[in-house]
Structure 1
Amino acid sequence: MAILSIFFSVAFLPHLLPIDPYSKYTQLNLPPGSIGRESVALDRFNQGPYVGVLDGTILKYKGPNIGFVFFAYTPLGTEGGNATLVANSAGGVPFHFLNGVDVDQFTGDVYFTDASQTIDIRRGFSLPGGPVISVDLKFVLFSEFSNRRIMKYWLTGNKANTVEVLLYLPGNPIKIKKAPEPGEFWVAVNIIVHQPTSVTPLGFKFNSTGGILLIKEFEGQYNNIHQLIAVQEYIGGKLYIGSREAKFVGIHSKW
């Protein structure tokens, strides 16, 4: 089983991919006891990064001399206020494990996934994750963890309200994030071998037609971590790595 899995993952890799440009690595340690950092964000002033940890606290990085400091708890926007419950079920089925969200900045529509089922768009997919809306607002992408693939749900055009397979992967994908370049995305992929147990964490950069642009290997920094959750790229060529188990923020920069 292990031999077949490793062979498949190597054979899957496309030819003539560019050399990995993200060769510089920086590690920002979280405060003691802080874990569960799945995603990383910068603000509009390119400050941060900001991270959310397991107890609901939002932390902000203030530089190497200060490190991460408390920023907010269950954030409610820049003006604060009281939280308003928008929804806790769909079609009479309660939400169970919401694990991804993206918002249409023009219409305000919210797209999210429940890892126990898919809500609002489609049902019947296997552990869906993501999702992410395309820049042109024509489609939504989401991942299927168990089926090892990326799905495309069309919002407009002749294919509106239909779904198709965009990309098959050699491992289990989780969150999808936009890349700075329009029409390009990152997805965290974990190649899991069960006997003996091992996880090879990778980041796949791909485009809206399913073409793989780059494969980034993270085993050197995350070899003792169960799995990656998210790979987020921001303008300036930096990858911020999310993992539920890591006690640090990993940053991979270009030369």
Structure 2
Amino acid sequence: MAYIVSLTKLMTIFLILICFPSMLLSQSFRSLQLPPNATGPESIAFESGPITGRFYVGVADGRILQYNGPRDGFRDFGFTGPNRSKRVCDGTTGLGPICGRPLGLAFHYSSNKLYICDRYLGLMVLGSAGKQATQVSAAADGQPCKAVDVHQLTGNVLFTDFGFLRDPRNASNALNTNDSKGRLLMYEPSTDRVTVLMKNLSGPAGVAVSQDGTYALVSNFISNNTIRFWLRGPRANTYDSINFQERPDDIKRTVLGDFWRAAATVKQQTQSLVPVGQRMNGFGRVYRTVNFEPWYENQLISEVQEFGGELYVGSRFTTFVGVYRF
């Protein structure tokens, strides 16, 4: 009798999910709403340790927000603009040169420092107290900074820049002309020196250092490819192209040593772009793709990061951080 009841319950659940698939989708995705008037959570950085789940996001008006769990939500933690005024800047999107615009974020865990790539102010850093970020480098030659990652053992900071980010109005022209002014750079805190590792990159939107520190993956948003730049070993200072994919954005390493990359696929019927997250290894092999179209439609996402069995999704077009359980 119990077996028949259990079978009946299973059939009921199956029929509900078949008839109402949106219920299944809603169970796998939730939104962490930003504070009022905050938009564009481009990148996400978790604190060290899997217990607290505390993380940080940069938003379009120049603030760094700290997320403290579902009960407390987001709070102001820091900001990048040296002359930033909350009265003038909070909730704005067009005052980047004054208010700042944080893009990539990455923690160095042993020093508890949060490195920030700002569109207008270059590479910056925040201590554990937050508030005003300090400029580390104007991204060498004053170019804006897009993506950042930290090699945890050495503390060296890898970051990317490309010039058209300073004026977003030039973005469409850069895409059409295959702009190749981007660079991969490295900041060494021990010497306070910035070194240019690569030039002539086409919109380097993401960077991630391998677990052993022998190479870094760099995604080129304009040329639609991801390259592997060798930092150490017999192939040091050389690179190879390992993957081609539409609009690859930021890359984040997982605790297992592979990577999640934000990207897009092309919908054949309409030729529109579909936002996806892709899990890939250091050879460029993609072995899992998650389609985020049900929640983002045709708006691109900028980052996918794994934490606690879930994917945290950033996008410059939303007012929330997406969380996908897989």
TM score, norm. by length of structure 1: 0.79
1:113 pairs with 155, 160, 171, which one? 160
Corresponding residue for 1:76? 126
Corresponding residue for 1:55? 61
Alignment of 1:33-182 (within 5 A): 33-44=37-48, 45-74=51-80, 76-79=126-129, 84-90=134-140, 93-95=141-143, 97-116=144-163, 117-119=182-184, 120-169=196-245, 171-182=246-257
1:237 correspondence with 2:309: yes
2:274 pairs with 180, 200, 206, which one? 200
1:222 correspondence with 2:303: no
The root-mean-square deviation of aligned C-alpha atoms, in Å, is 2.3
Secondary structure at the residue paired with 2:294? Answer: helix
Corresponding residue for 1:31? 35
8 Å Cα contact 1:172-1:192 kept in structure 2: no
Specify the structure having the higher radius of gyration (Cα): 2
The 1:56/1:219 distance shift into structure 2, 3 A limit, reads: same
How far 1:212 sits from its partner (Å)? 1.2
Counterpart Cα distance in 2 of 1:220 and 1:121: 39
How far 1:68 sits from its partner (Å)? 2.0
Q: Which structure ranks higher in relative contact order (CA pairs < 8 Å, sequence separation ≥ 6)?
A: 1
Secondary structure at the residue paired with 2:65? Answer: strand
Counterpart Cα distance in 2 of 1:165 and 1:30: 37
Unmatched 5+ residue regions in structure 1? 1-22
How far 1:62 sits from its partner (Å)? 3.4
Moved over 4 A (4+): 79-84
Structure with the largest fraction of helix? 2
8 Å Cα contact 1:140-1:154 kept in structure 2: yes
- The percentage of aligned residue pairs carrying the same residue is 37
How far 1:200 sits from its partner (Å)? 0.6
**Partner deviation per Cα, 1:138-168 (whole Å, 9 max, x = no partner):** 0011011122111000111221110101111
1:246 correspondence with 2:318: yes
Counterpart Cα distance in 1 of 2:202 and 2:325: 33
Unmatched 5+ residue regions in structure 2? 1-26, 81-124, 164-181, 185-195
